[in-house]
Every structure is written in C-alpha cells, then in structure tokens.
Amino acid sequence: MKKLTLVAAALCVALGGTAARAQDAGALLDLLVKKRLISDQEAEEVRTELVKESANTAAGKWKLSAPITELELYGDMRLRYEYRGGRLPSTNSGDFGQDHLNDWYERHRERYRLRVGLRGTLADDWFFGLRLETSASSRSTNVTFGGESSGGPFAKGDDGIFVGQAYFGYTGFPDFKFTGGRMPQPLITTSMLWDDDINPEGLAEQWKHTFTFNLGGGGGEAVQSYSKEGYSKEGKSVVAPAAEPFKLKLDVFANFAQYVYDDENPENPIGPNPVVGSGNGDQTGQKIPTTDAFMLAWQVGARLTFPNSVYVQLAPTLYNYTGNGDTFNIHFNGDPGGNQTGINSLLVFDLPAEIGWKIGDLPPMRVFGEFADNIEGHDRARAAGHPDHTGQHYAWMVGGAIGQLKAKHDWEIRAWYQYAGQFALDPNLVDSDIYDSRVNERGVAVKAGYMVADAISLNLTWAYSWRINGSLGTGGTGDIPINPLDQYQLFQADCSVKF
C-alpha cells in the first residue's frame, strides 16, 4: 500500500493534480504496468484514487459532452462614464424649427456592460460559440445605471441578458472556414462602416492562405502554410501574426458573407401588398415589395508582412443589398422628419487599409485609413429629394496609433479624422458612439488606453464632429434626438475587466 501511495503521490505531483491531468495519468499507469513496475490491480487502485481526487476539484465537477474537444469561458465587464452632447444649428434647427438655436442637448450617463461567452471546438473540425450580452440593442451592450423609468431606484427593468452570438461552423477543408448563425464579424472593417458591437446574422465563408518567402541566397523560395485562426478574443476578424521566423509573408484572404438584414413577415399577405403610409413624400401610397432583405459582402484582400514586423494590409470589399424587408423599405431621406433607416440605393465599395511597424524597443505604430464610395449614391440622393447633393456619396477616414493593449502596463493612443457623406453609408450600421450613428458628419476622435493589469484596462475616448452639409439633415438615429446634429461631442471614461 505504501508503494501505491507513493505512486499516487508521484503522479499527483507530476501531473499537477487537476482533473484533466488525472485522466492523463492513465497513460503513465499503463506504462508502469507494461514495465512490470506495478500490477494491473495496483494501477487500478491508483487510478481510482486519482479520479476520486479529481472529482473533488472544481474542474472535476464539470461535465462536458463527448464531442467537445476544447471549451473556453470568456467575457468582459465594463464600467463607463459618458458625456454625449449635440448642438442645434444656428439657423433653422430642423425638428425644433427656429426655436433654441445653438442650444446643446446633453447627456451624462453612468453605464455598464457584461458579456459572457463559451466557445470551443468539436470533433471532426467543427466549432461553436455562444455569447450572452446585456442590452437588446444591435449597436450597444450598455445598460445605463438608474435608467429605468419605473420600478423604483435600482430597478432591473433594463438589465436583461440577450443572446449576442450563437453560431457554429466547420473548418475541415484546408484554408476554409464556414460559419452560420449570429456570429462575430468575419469581415475586416472599421467603425466607420460597422459598429463593432454588431454581431451579424447569416452565413460567412472565409478562405485564407499564407505564402512564406525565404529570401536570400539564390532566389526566393515560397512555402505555403495555413492557419485556422480566424477570430480574435474580441470576436473581431484578424489576420494572425507570423508564428515562426520568416523573411516575407503574404496572407491572401477572401471573406464572403450573406447576412439576413431584415425578415419580411409575411412575404405573401392576405389581400394586396401594403402601401407606403402618408408623410413619406412621393412614396406615399406606393406598394411595398414584400421580400426579405439580405446584405451581401464580398471581400478579398492581402496582408504582406516584411522583415522587422512591418506589414501592409488591404481588404477591398463590396456590399450590396437585396430586398427591402418590412422595417427598412421606405426610401432613406436623412432630413428632419424623414426616413432615417432606408437601405435603398446602397452599393458600397469599401477599402480599409493599414500599415504597421515596430522598430527596436519603440512601441508598435500604425497608420490606417478607409475609403468608401456608395456607387449608387447619386440615386440615393435623388430618392431622398436632393438631386443637387449627389456628391455626398463617399466617406473616408485616416488615422494613426502608437502602442498596444495586450498586457499589464501596455498603453495605446489612437487618433483619426473621419468624413461620412449623407448618402455614402448605411446609417443602420455605422458606429453608435462616433458619431452618434449619424452620417453627414465629419470630425476627429482620440482614444487612449492603459492596461492596469493583464485583465484590467482604462480607456478614454473623445470625439467631436460637425455637420458636413448645412442644407441636409444628419441621417441616422442616435442617442441625441435632434436632427440636424450641427455639432456633436463625446467623452467616455471606461474601466474594463476581461476574463
């Protein structure tokens, strides 16, 4: 018995005593039996002891179904103070007529958000993910403290938990990844087009291939490799950094997505199709097509990584829409009182680009930019009743960053300038913070972050914007209930914990 106790103790020490490691002990015990150092019976007694020990650990009490090969619990929580203000114009103030010119509408909010997820891999190259989030909004996971209008102080009326992500997919074919469900954004994009809180619903197909060129000596030699890495822990699409030494690496990728933008219900109503209601200008009385709305994305791109960690990335993308759904089927107008959500005449070409480098012990630096052009922007302007403003069909941004936020004591500063024409982008998708989900705005934004600990970060964000065209509204619906939003200012102070 003493021998068995010693063997068990040795295994516990060698294997760390955890539940998972206890299972690993089987191979060691089998080896000891094979070498006739212990008998089968003795091995069995040790095995049972180890199982008993592991059953009493926290990990040993979890039971996972057999197909799960890897499971990760992750999430974050954030506390935020936010100031958000918008100013009425100095002349006609839209929704407010000639009243309150130049007046500011301001909000101070203390907010939190919680996101908790499980993601993992399954046998035979399948994977899955589930993330629960606070807030029902597609473009926000924030809950405002004391925000309930009923239920007394500390009511829980808006502290609901919602399914933010629920997806699964397949990576069984080399270089390919297929995903279906409500998923992390598979496209490479920026906040100018897409709010990063949005988890699109539908299908995505991704392909990525890596060519590694060993330069030097007698000519280049190409080596192909493949990485299944596709999503960062933040749920954003990333291109993985090089895992092994190389001189030149080229990642070529293609991402395709078919998102269900809006479901029409029903597609075939009893009786005639519904018609556009009054107050919608020329559209009033027109029949509404009853079709689902889909958003299709076509992205191809490359990332070239040179020696010394210099990289260049381009990801040209085309977005188009089919159908109207039953929520977005009125033509976008963007002016006060007009429709702010229509998805008519949107065929957007987008080109996000980024160049990054790291020199010596200096923090990593990068410059980034994006240019987007709504190829059907002229039609969108005319449909909005502004044939004289068809030039508002493009958007762009340019900025730079220094530092990174990965580990304790890391810091980062980012700043950029952004310009978004009234008829350039889908106002239902643009970032809800910068600039309040609006288009026809231009301005600057600065973010600064510091990692207090590996899991704790502090972030400050400041943004200021101005209306681009004074004769148009600022399309989109944000937290500031005025249109046009002549000037806008945002300040956020965040403390986040990641786990």
Partner 1 sequence: MKIKYLALSLALPVAGIASAHADRLVIKGSDTLGAKLVPQLAEQFKAQHPGTTFDIAAEGSTTGIAAIIDGTAQIGMSSRRAKTSEVGAAASKGKHMKPTIVAFDGIGVIVNSANPLKGLTKKQVEQIFTGDVTDWSAVGGSGGKISVYTRNTSSGTYSEFKELAMKKRDYAPGSQKMAGNEQIAAEVGKNPNGVGYVGMAYIKASGVKALPVDGAVPSVKAVQAHSYPYWRPTFYYTNGDPSGLAKDFVDFTVGPGGQKIVAQVGFVPIK
Closer to partner 1 by Cβ: residue 47 or 467: 47
Shortest distance, position 60 Cβ to partner 1, whole Å:
6
DSSP string over 378-422: HHHHHHTT-GGGTT--EEEEEEEEEE--SSTT-EEEEEEEEEE-T
DSSP 265-327: S-SS-SSSPPBPPTTSGGGTTPBPP---EEEEEEEEEEEEEEGGGEEEEE--EEEEEE--TTT
Closest CB to partner 1 among 44 and 72?
A: 44
Give the whole-angstrom CA distance, residue 40 versus residue 17.
Answer: 22
Instruction: Considering the complex, state which of residue 45 and residue 292 has its C-beta at the smaller distance from partner 1.
Output: 45
CB of 72 to partner 1, least distance (A): 20
The least distance separating partner 1 from the CB of residue 303, rounded to whole angstroms, comes to 36
Q: Give the contacts of 231 (CB within 8 A, at least 6 positions apart).
A: 184, 186, 237, 238
**Cβ–Cβ under 8 Å, residues 73 and 463:** no
Nearer to partner 1, 54 or 305 (CB): 54
User: Which residues sit opposite 167 in a β-bridge?
Assistant: 129, 181
- Minimal distance in Å, beta carbon 64 to partner 1? 11
**Minimum distance of partner 1 from residue 34's CB (angstroms):** 7
Binding site for partner 1 (CB under 8 A): 19, 22, 30, 33-34, 40-41, 44-45, 47-48, 51-52, 54-56, 60-61, 63, 66-67, 123
**Is 353 within 8 Å of 314 (Cβ atoms)?**
yes
Min CB(22)–partner 1 separation in Å: 8
- The neighbour count for residue 187, using CB atoms within 10 Å, is 24
**Closest C-alpha among 471, 298, 318 to residue 391:** 471
Q: Which is nearer to partner 1, 47 or 80 (CB)?
A: 47
State the DSSP string of 255-273: EEEEEEEE--S-SS-SSSP
Q: Identify whether the C-beta of residue 179 lies closer than 8 Å to the C-beta of residue 160.
A: no
Least distance between partner 1 and beta carbon 19 (Å)? 7
Nearer to partner 1, 122 or 188 (CB): 122
Nearer to partner 1, 45 or 125 (CB): 45
